[in-house]
Amino acid sequence: MSQLQEHPKIITSLFAKPARIMFLVMLFVLTTLVATTAAQDETPTVGDLPPEITIVEQVVTPNAVTTTLNIVTTKDTFVNSNNPDKNWGGFGQLRTGYDAPPSSSTNYGAQRMLMQFNVYPGLIPAGAIVDNATFYIYQEGATGFTNLEIEARRLASSWDEYSVTWNSHQPVWGDALGRGTADSANGWKTVDAIDIVQEWLSGTPNYGVVFQTDETPANQNQRVYRSRETSEKPYIILTYTQYNDNCAPSANITPLNTWSPGVFTVSWSGSDCGTPPSPPSGIDRYDVQYSTNNYNWIDWKTNVPASETSAAFNGINGTTYYFRVRATDKAGNIGVYSSSQSTRVDAVAPSASMGTINQYNFPSFTVTWSGSDNLSGVASYEVQFREAGGAWASQTYSASQTSDVVTGGEPGKTYGFRVRAIDNAGNASAFTAEQTTTIVNDPTSIITPFDPPVVLTQTVTVSWVPYTTGTINSYTIKYRYNGGAWKNWKTVTGTPPGTTDVFDAAIDSDWSGASYKTGLFEFEVAATTTNLGSEPFTGTPEAGVVIDPDGNMQVRAYFPIIFQTGQ
């Protein structure tokens, strides 16, 4: 029975990386083996392979042959600092970390593990695709941290299993390949090894790997594994597939908008064709390029998995970008690049403004707005409105419409308006500052606020403003003193009637008869028209002023006295 059959379950990972468990975190991330020659018709037999490599399984389907290999390590050993010139080739253990137990006679000190597998170009047929590669190693001992970080480094030159020592191996270290964690539970450990196997198959020199971990004496962190001299040899299970597919796939960029914002999404798709009577092997990956002139192409996304069919692109304002894509199928057939799709970037938002809205309006009135954009142009406007500071509601207008008539406003209620512009690239301006208006009846007239709100004379000028679509022929003004009863002041007539007059506090007997001549006078005005009737009195003051001719009030600061009808 093969080791694959004996140990099919993944117990834990020796090395981990965020995306997936890794045997080695490679400097070059390869997701599939790119074949440059056509797939071979013949599949390997036992006699074709070195003795340390055996065929575990071959599965034949109408369109493919899938082969699984068991690759036992050809060299493995460890070196240690307390025996710097001793070789441990042929020993039954592989050790890494620091060993110096107080009650033990071993006291290896710092330990580093070396290993090599016979994985080389030509091991699998040209055109075959690696499906997976898994590293197996048996852990028989652990001390120190429950989860211990281990680093793997590439060996840069050849070494001999039966002569390498602590002193001799250090000069041939290569670059660091990655880090992962090893737990403290003993038993078989399995780790994804597809990336390093891909490198070795594609021609990267394979001198093996050195493993090391925390070598701090006080921590006593170490892991002990079984070597190839035992029945639990380290090995790799490699599975690859040869497809009966000589038909290259096709791919296309999804058409882009004429204009795009600074960051926009590029999408692509593809399809694969088979070689009759075999079905297609299916798309394995994509390569996407971009250009600013449609002929000098730059790699953007390479070896993208078939499951990934879109990505965000960050462009420069005013630049036109072209994109094209090609697909590679699982049989290694590489399609041609597609025709290009282009878009121009507009990364600057447009501007918008709203025409001045009167403070008071009748139930039907017009709101206007405008906007501009330097590149793609304004595509639409979003006008928002709300009642009395409530939730905003939106209405969208095309770029050609810059006004609308508001109808149905309720007298006495205040409405707010604001607008923003959206350009053809999808950029939106900020909303303009809110403008508010209060709906009034027709006709309406309002006393304007007093400035200052306190006068040191017994007379004060009173002014009012009319709002009407008709013809006003008179105004009637009422007042009250210190919140008392409303009294008629005067009726103003004329063609048209005036909108200002001087009020003399002496006309009020309560004020003139008071020994302390200081008080608040409040006013309300009502208009009468020849064709729309008369404005009713509401009994709500529209503006007020303090009359204090004797200077009884010690003014520190004025606080405006403001009134609004119906509020």
Classify strands 351-354 and 365-372 as parallel, antiparallel or unpaired: antiparallel
First-last CA distance in the chain:
91
Query: Which amino acid, one-letter code, is at 473?
Result: N
Q: Residue 277, Cα to own-chain centre: how many angstroms?
A: 45
Cβ–Cβ under 8 Å, residues 117 and 109: no
CA distance 91 to 468: 106
Quick: pLDDT tens for 448-507: 999 999 999 999 999 999 999 899 999 999 999 999 999 999 999 999 999 999 999 999
Confidence of residue 48 (pLDDT cuts 50, 70, 90): confident
Strand arrangement, sheet containing 263-271: 250-253, 263-271, 310-314
What domains, with CATH codes, occur in the chain? Answer: 3-242 (no CATH), 250-345 (2.60.40.10), 351-439 (2.60.40.10), 444-547 (2.60.40.10)
CA distance 221 to 110: 10
CA distance 294 to 81: 60
3-class SS at 512? helix
The two three-digit tokens of residue 150, written as one number:
């281990």
Quick: pLDDT tens for 230-275: 999 999 999 999 888 889 999 999 999 999 999 999 999 999 998 7
The two three-digit tokens of residue 354, written as one number:
């709203």
Place of tokens 């041609």: 336
Q: What is the largest CA-CA distance in the chain?
A: 129
Cβ–Cβ under 8 Å, residues 526 and 536: yes
Quickly count: other Cβ atoms within 10 Å of residue 15's Cβ: 25
Cβ–Cβ under 8 Å, residues 458 and 550: no
3-class SS at 166? helix
The pLDDT, as a whole number, for residue 62 is 79
Look up the pTM and report it: 0.62
Quick: pLDDT tens for 413-457: 999 999 999 999 999 999 999 999 999 999 999 999 999 999 999
Stretch 526-539: mean pLDDT: 93
CA distance 242 to 331: 7
